[in-house]
Structure 1
Amino acid sequence: MPKNIEKNDDAGNGHSSKEREAYFHNPEYRKKVARRNALMQRIYLGFLAMILLGALGIGGIMLYLSQDLPSLEQLENPKPELATTVYSADGKLLSKYFLKNRTSVPLDSISVYARQALIATEDVEFYDHWGFNSRRFVAAMIENIITMRSRWHGASTVTQQLARNLYLTHDRTVSRKLKEFLTAIQIERTYTKDEILWLYLNTVYFGSGAWGIEAAAWTYFDKPAIDLDVAESAVLVGTLKSPRDYDPVREKENSLARRNLIIGLMAKAGFLTEQEAETEKAKALVTHFTSVTDVGDAPYYTEYIRRQLKQEAKKYGFDIYRDGLTVYTSLDTRMQKYAEDAVAEHLPWVQDQFDKDWRWPTSLKNDVIRESPRFQELREQGMTEKEALAKLKNDKEWLRKLLLKKTAVEVGFIAIEPATGHIKAWVGGKDFRKDDYQYQFDHVWQARRQPGSTFKPFVYTAAIDAGIPPNYQLLNQPLVIKDDDRIWTPENSDLESGGLTTLRDALKNSLNQVTIRLVNESVPPSKIIEYARRMGIKSPLDENYSIALGTSVVSPLELCSAYSTFANNGVHVEPVSILRIEDKFGQPIVTYKPDRAKALDPETNYVMVSMLKGVINGGTGVAVRSRYKFYEDAGGKTGTTQDNKDAWFAGFTPQLAAVVWTGFDDERIKYTSMKYGQGARASLPIWANFMTHCYADPELGLQSRYFKKPAKVIGIPISSRTNLPADANDNDAYIEYFTEASWKQYQSSLNNYSNFNRLDTLGGNRTARAIPIAPPQKKRGEGQF
């Protein structure tokens, strides 16, 4: 047989003729071949078994790891901790409440440059993979194996990073990497690419306490994320690698270099041209940093809001620190600024006047030292009281600071829109931050002090509503009152007395003696309390005669609420601070509507408004007109409490009511003189400056308006000299206003008496407990209310 044919046969069956011949004729060869074939079969079966065991092992590992993976519900409803944001009525961000300063916003509310910077830097193939970049991952794993790292790292995609941020730990282990891989795949199956990008940008940490790009934009640049430009977007994305190392405020050089690198990557990815990139790189790095610990605007007010939200959380089941609520409030930041400016302008003058006159009584100074924590510590260490006092008195700097804190003039200011009850401005104290701590005691709603003569309008309102005319006359003379088993003699603030005085003039000039006579004759304390309650006073009130002079404590908040009733035609509207609460998706949780109630008849209310206008037009509040040139239609009342401890001014226009209190936290400390410490000097200027600026601001729309007189109110010219009807052209004539009931009483008195001096037909509580006495001889300024 030819050789070439023999070779073809060998090629055809895979064995040469010699091998076939040996196999059939040589038993040893056959055994050898059998052993070889058996070995190959065992190798093949072993290989198959290894593949199967490997698959089972990997499957087991995957099954084991999958037990800790997020459920489908968790994937579809991720719950990152979101900050609650608080907005003013004019759309300004006031504050945030959070454990993590994170605010969620829609993708279309995030600058496109921020999205491009993230993709160019972290995952340029983001839109082309399914959550896992196999090429980059395998390369990273090979590097980890070669370098024998115990803490593995890899080229994670944006989706993998999101999986880690939302559901996993940041441990660099093989198991965590595998979990990250599996979770990323599930995320890709659950969300679109844009939704993944939205979730990522709203959850990642940008440093300085800012979670999510919206919080970061406000923290570093004082603007929303939608307004970020190319350079600012690159800065923020740059912090993601290391928020500490690339902090644009503290590590400006590092941040600038990182920013420019990212701008270059954006150009490489095709998001920018080379020329655009060079232009952006040339820009200076400018930040407008706001610390996460910044108290924000109107800090006393937002703290009040926070406490209200904590109460509402129990009712509606939300978490104000995690659920990403949006809270819309009634405050107007423009009015708030005018209020803060008015306080800042006037309070230093009051403080300066006080400091010039104040002298510490030795006994009071010793009491203050004994009350200090440091004194208590020294006593606990074994010092005697005498030794501890001596040691602390020798520490001049410590003692100076202690006494300065005690003698700091404090303030409470609040403004309310009467028609709606909306709180528009709120200053709870001189400074929310005092020294190195937050001084959060709020003098608007937490402080309750004697209101002094600002409480008198409730007395006169009860009288007018009972049909007593505003020109009804009472003696402006001292009288002895037996009240709650004590005998006392009320005095006017100037220690002077006079003859018969109308109720209008008594309120205008804040005469204590006439007010108490009115209470004694016609308006018992129970009636005063009834009317105060109707109009908004909620604090406990003592049912005694001295309540007429403002001896029961109230807060500025409730006093302003009550005075708003005068401005709102006798309708009381409960103060409103929160307008609406929405969840993180913008769906309303609750909307608040004002609670309204008729407190006074419109006729009674108008007569009282006319009397309170008299206080400003020519009474104790005349400085509003004469000194501060505020000429809008307004009413109000000054108040100065006994021994000059508290100074008040409460006033209103048809569109705005406001109350000011100034004084000291320690009631043992008081103003030293009426020259600066009475309501007209210590508090009225703040009210007048606030109102003047509000009405001068065209954006606020507070146009000049007048209190509307009800049709049933009767206006008659009255002679201020004779208290009889007069010609409107008489020099001493003024227009007096009457309700129908008081007009009938006045007419009856004219018919029954030739001279309208007393209105005995009105009856009242005439008892032998009130008797005229000669005025005592005292120095001016003592025993004032």
Structure 2
Amino acid sequence: MKANEKAASGTDKQKKKKKTPSSPASKFTLAVIKTVFVILISLGCVVGGVLGGAVLGYIKTASPITPDQLEMTKVTFIYDKDGKEMTQVKGGENRILAEHSEIPDNMRHAFIAIEDSRFKKHSGVDKKRFVGAALSYILKFGNADYGGSTITQQLVKNITGNTDSTVKRKVQEAWQAIDLEKKMSKDQILDNYMNRINTGLGCWGVQAAAKKFFNKDIKDLSLAECASIAGVTKSPGTYDPTLSEKSKAANKERQKIILDEMLRQKYITQNEHDEAVAEPLKVYKGTSEGAKKSNNVQSYFEDYVLTQVKNDLMKKYNLSSNNATIKLYNGGLKIYTTQDSNLQKIMNEEFTNPKNFTANEKISNPDMQAQAAMLVMDPTTGQIRGMYGAYGEKKANFTLNRATDMKRQPGSSFKPIAVYGPAIDLGIITPATVIDDVPVYLDKEHPTTPYPRNAETGVYEGLLTIRRAIQKSQNVVAAQVWMNLLGAQNSINYLKKVNIDRSKEGYVSMALGGLNEGVNPLIMASAYVPFDNKGVYLEPISYTKVTDDKGNVILDKKTDQKRNIAYKETTAFLMTSMMRDVVTNGTASISGGLGRGSLGTVKNSSGKVIPTAGKTGTTNDTYDKWFVGYSPYYVGATWYGYNYNKTLKGQEVYQALNLWNKVMNRAHAKLEPKDFSQPQGLVKKTICIYSGKLVGPYCSGDPRGNAIKTEYFAKGTEPTDTCNVHVLAKVDTSSKDIYGRPLLANPFCPPSLVKEKVFIKRPVPYLPKSPLKGSLSLTIKDWIYQLSEEEYCTKHGKGATNVIPPNNPATPSQNTGNSSSGNTQNGNNGSPSKPTNSGGTPSDSSNSGGNLDDIIP
């Protein structure tokens, strides 16, 4: 029974199976599912492999962030001699580096709260945000709006500048961020980020924003101000509060969002939050002092110092011009200049004052207007205190700076450094050396034409000491000293000592300032420094040091400054002593009709006279006017002229002196009178100013007045002989020679007509070929006082008009002897002919400028 039942049961199961067979559709569906599942798994493996390979490829081709890339472009600062900020120099970005210690915690927390709340926990990539951003990217087919970048990733993007919206960029950025986190601390990353980001239009970094928005240093910002700056970086054009009232309101709204996040993330308390939200957003409406200056045109001084620093960077560190420029404009350097800002302000005001350039009132074309330039130095340090390079306001950067870059003829202002200083230093001449200022013929190509001439009036002074020759600025004396006593090579050698190379200009016109290559106020001021600095030449410098953004000194100009002894201390004193006469009684003592007394005299605000010395300069046809003058405090060189050759007339001939005087009076306003230092090694002697020798018995009787003067000498160069120029003679006052001079009395002259008078007798006779009378261009001023030797009265006596018996009492009495003071005369007894107006030798006549001397009113 049981066996049957089992059999029946098995039969029933079989019957049931037969009753529910699988349909074809079901089988097909099942097969498709299985196939698709296999395919998907296979595709997944393939896609996964492809994606994995792609990601691996992206990572392999990504470059890690290098230390050089972490360097940021930073603002370079320029300071004056007192450490006051003059300007900021920006390259492509206005960025002021903020150190970690300067950044307040509120600023750090504001950025973390709004930009990357898990910044302190992740390793460069926030996995949750990264996955969210990836899903958003996939689901929206590449148009993701989910921000997945961490602060570290944003820093990478700012460093690389890569903003492509591609998977490759995001993968590489993530890898670079992770790599960067291994090399830098969180603080370093956050500091770099805050110093690098765009914090407003024209602003990079939080410090620049603090200055721009609130005119504060970052360390002084409030919580609300920190949140305000943190809110700008999302969209500077929208949230920069300085742009408009609309952007200011938008910034205030975003500020609250950031403060809410800071509260939520427990960086601040409820009370701090509420106070910050309630704090009015007071945006600075002006411009910070440094930023204000940086937006203006650079001054002539700033142009110059930037050029000097760049050149020195190239030289010291072997940089290319381009790399030196990048370092200069983007390196966050601090340049400590030598500028005296008060003096520079004075110069700015005087050179932009139309009253000092009245000739320009009727000239509208700037290229045709009168120009001027000036440079002022401290003679004890060689430091440039101020400069101005043109007339009027400076309107562009790196325009022509006439104070440092032009090349113009210096005229007679060149004589002290090319002739007199060297000759005094070598002991060839003394201030008392007498040179006969008479027509000379030093142009070999025109041997019958007097060359050089003294001035447009053609006046010759006759016997003249070096002191008086400098005071009156006589060309003939300078030319004779240079050619007959000093020599071209000595002149060239001494010019090299003051950094002027004229090795190819060994001709007489060089002695008078007629040069192939001209000079500028910088060259002239620095060349005069030794006269004001015990004979020591100092390289003119515009800065003392340059530091990098970390405070390390990279250029030390004071240490590298070149200096050398140009003259003996006694030479410097003697030259200064003689050039003091120029400003008290010489060519710089004029008032120019300006009603201010001597333009070479400087007074302080109390009316006390500050001792000064200097030399004027005038070139051919009065195209250029110069004055190089100095006090114990400053050396200043001023030039006035036009861009083209135009003769200066009227008041314009005084404008170089006028500008110098105005600047120097104001520069010395608060300074007390101080005399030039007097060194050891000097002696004083009482001498005759027409012989340069010790006083003789007749010097006090000179018909022009007392010829006796006390003079300084370097010890060992003082005269020892007695004057032999003044002689005593009996003359017949009724008998004259062709020049109007009384003739010697003979034994037959009536006693009532015979008088005993003092005359001069030239140590070296000068015999003109034709009479001088009536020829103004050949007037010799002392000719009338010269004894008409061996010419006797022709009116009295019979047959003895030119014969003097032995021991005749009419024979002139005189002292004899040779002078140790260097009496010199040209020795040319040839007849002078028509003079020339050329200041240089004819072969140099094409040169602009030349060497016509200063005109004495």
TM-score w.r.t. the length of structure 2 is: 0.70
Which residue of structure 2 lines up, in the alignment, with residue 699 of structure 1?
none
2:649 aligned with 1:672, yes or no? yes
Name which of 355, 358, 373 aligns with 1:353: 358
Would the aligned equivalents of 1:720 and 1:734 in 2 still touch at CA under 8 Å? yes
Q: Please give the alpha-carbon distance, in whole angstroms, between the structure 2 residues aligned to 1:260 and 1:299.
A: 45
1:640 counterpart = 2:618: yes
Is 1:474 matched with 2:475? no
> Shift of the alpha carbon at 1:165?
0.7
Match of 2:404 among 445, 467, 473: 445
Helix, strand or coil: the match of 2:526? helix
Contact 2:532/2:631 (<8 A) preserved? yes
Residue pairs, 1:392-407, within 5 angstroms: 404-407=365-368
- Could you tell me how far apart the structure 2 residues matched to 1:766 and 1:71 are? 83
Distance 1:777 1:127, change over 3 A: closer
CA contact (8 A) 1:411 1:429 kept: yes
Q: Output the CA distance in 1 between the equivalents of 2:275 and 2:300.
A: 42
Distance 1:105 1:186 in 2: 25
Which one is further off, 470-479 or 194-203?
A: 470-479
2:785 matched residue in structure 1? none
Deviations 1:514-567 (A, max 9, x none): 333433542334433332221232367632222232122212211111111222
Instruction: Quote the Cα distance in structure 2 between the aligned partners of 1:115 and 1:665.
Output: 58
Please tell me whether the aligned partners of residues 431 and 465 of structure 2 are also in contact (alpha carbons under 8 angstroms): yes
> 1:740 pairs with 708, 712, 715, which one?
715
Deviations 1:250-298 (A, max 9, x none): 4353035314632662465145814541453252442416479735553
Partner residue, 1:384: none
Q: Matches of 1:590 and 1:639 in 2, distance apart?
A: 37
**C-alpha distance in structure 1 between counterparts of 2:208 and 2:77, whole Å:** 10
* Deviation (angstroms), 1:461: 1.0
User: Matches of 2:444 and 2:354 in 1, distance apart?
Assistant: 39
- Which one of 379, 385, 399 corresponds to residue 418 of structure 1? 379
Q: Residue 90 in 1 paired to residue 82 in 2?
A: yes
Q: Which residue identity is paired with 2:276?
A: A
Task: Name the CA shift for 1:254/1:151 in 2 (closer, same or farther; >3 Å).
Answer: same
User: Is residue 650 from structure 1 mapped to residue 628 from structure 2 by the alignment?
Assistant: yes
CA contact (8 A) 1:525 1:547 kept: no
1:161 matched residue in structure 2: 154
SS in 2 for 1:450: coil
Counterpart contact for 1:644–1:670, Cα < 8 Å: yes
Contact preservation (8 Å) 1:84, 1:322: no
Q: Which amino acid aligns with 1:736?
A: E
Structure 2 counterpart of 1:609, one-letter code: T
Q: How big is the shift at 1:161? A: 0.8
AA aligned opposite 2:282: K
The farther-off stretch of 591-600 and 211-220 is: 211-220
SS of corresponding position for 2:199: coil
Give 3-state SS (helix, strand or coil) of 1:281's partner.
coil
The corresponding residue for 2:700 is: none
- CA deviation vs aligned residue, 1:547-595 (integer Å, no higher than 9, x gap): 2321222122111111112222111122223444444544444433111
- For 1:454, the aligned partner's letter is S
Would the aligned equivalents of 1:719 and 1:732 in 2 still touch at CA under 8 Å?
yes
The structure with the largest helix share of the pair is 1
222 and 45 in structure 1: CA distance in 2 versus 1, 3 angstrom threshold? same
Deviation at 1:493, TM superposition (A): 6.0
Residues 295 and 749 from structure 1, CA distance in 2 versus in 1: closer, same or farther, beyond 3 angstroms?
farther
User: How far apart in 2 are the matches of 1:769 and 1:113?
Assistant: 91
Aligned with 2:183 (options 185, 190, 195): 190
1:180 is matched with which residue?
A: 173
On the 8 A contact 1:168/1:180 being kept in 2, the answer is no
Native 8 Å contact 1:417 1:657 kept in 2 = yes
Offset of residue 617 of structure 1: 3.8
- Distance, in Å, in 1 between the alignment partners of 2:293 and 2:512 is 47
Residue 474 of structure 2, aligned match among 504, 507, 511? 511
The alignment partner of 2:238 has SS state of coil
CA shift in 2, pair 1:498/1:90, >3 Å? same
Once the two structures are TM-superposed, the CA of residue 446 in structure 1 deviates from its matched residue by 1.5
Q: Using the alignment, how far apart are the partners of 2:13 and 2:682 within structure 1? A: 138
Take 2:618 and 2:548, find their aligned partners in 1: how far apart are those partners? 46
**1:169 Cα deviation from its structure 2 partner:** 0.8
Partner of 1:529: 492
Query: Which residue number in structure 2 is paired with residue 288 of structure 1?
Result: 287
| Distance in structure 2 (CA, Å) of the matches to 1:430 and 1:195 | 51
Aligned to 2:416, which of 449, 457, 464? 457
Q: Which amino acid aligns with 1:747?
A: T
Please give the alpha-carbon distance, in whole angstroms, between the structure 2 residues aligned to 1:531 and 1:246.
66
Q: Describe the shift of the 1:218–1:750 C-alpha distance in structure 2 as closer, same or farther (beyond 3 A).
A: farther
- SS of the aligned residue for 2:453 comes to coil
Structure 2 counterpart of 1:569, from 534, 544, 561: 534
- Sort the Cα spacing of 1:118 and 1:775 in 2 relative to 1 into closer, same or farther, 3 A: farther
Q: Could you tell me the TM-score, scaled by structure 1's length?
A: 0.76
The answer for the alignment partner of 2:561 in structure 1 is 594
Question: Counterpart of 2:426 in structure 1: which amino acid?
Answer: A
Residue in 1 that maps onto 2:638: 660
State the partner residue of 2:754.
none
Q: C-alpha separation between the residues in 2 aligned to 1:265 and 1:646? A: 67
Q: 1:769 to 1:719 in 2, by over 3 A?
A: closer
Contact kept? 2:482, 2:488, Cα under 8 Å: yes
Aligned length: 701
Counterpart Cα distance in 1 of 2:38 and 2:296: 73
Q: Distance in 2 between matches of 1:501 and 1:753?
A: 14
Residue 707 of structure 1: how far off its partner (Å)? 3.0
Q: Distance in 1 between matches of 2:658 and 2:64?
A: 64
The aligned amino acid for 2:577 is: S
C-alpha distance in structure 1 between counterparts of 2:539 and 2:148, whole Å:
59
Cα distance in structure 2, aligned partners of 1:330 and 1:772: 62
Distance 2:223 2:445 in 1: 76
Q: Greater shift after overlay, 470-479 or 136-145? A: 136-145
Give, in whole Å, the separation in 1 of the partners of 2:128 and 2:33: 35
Distance 2:830 2:277 in 1: 93
2:790 is aligned to none
Structure 2 unaligned spans of 5+:
1-8, 589-597, 696-704, 728-759, 764-817, 838-850
SS in 2 for 1:183: helix
Corresponding residue SS for 2:169: helix
* Structure 1 unaligned blocks of 5 or more: 1-17, 359-399, 697-702
- Deviation (angstroms), 1:430: 3.3
Greater radius of gyration (CA): 2
Query: Deviation per CA, 1:355-376, whole angstroms, max 9, x where unpaired?
Result: 46x7xxxxxxxxxxxxxxxxxx
Sequence identity of aligned pairs in percent?
24
Corresponding letter in the other structure for 2:238 = D
Q: Distance in 2 between matches of 1:27 and 1:731?
A: 160
Q: Residues 98, 688 of structure 1: CA spacing in aligned structure 2 closer, same or farther, 3 A cutoff?
A: same
CA contact (8 A) 2:452 2:475 kept: no
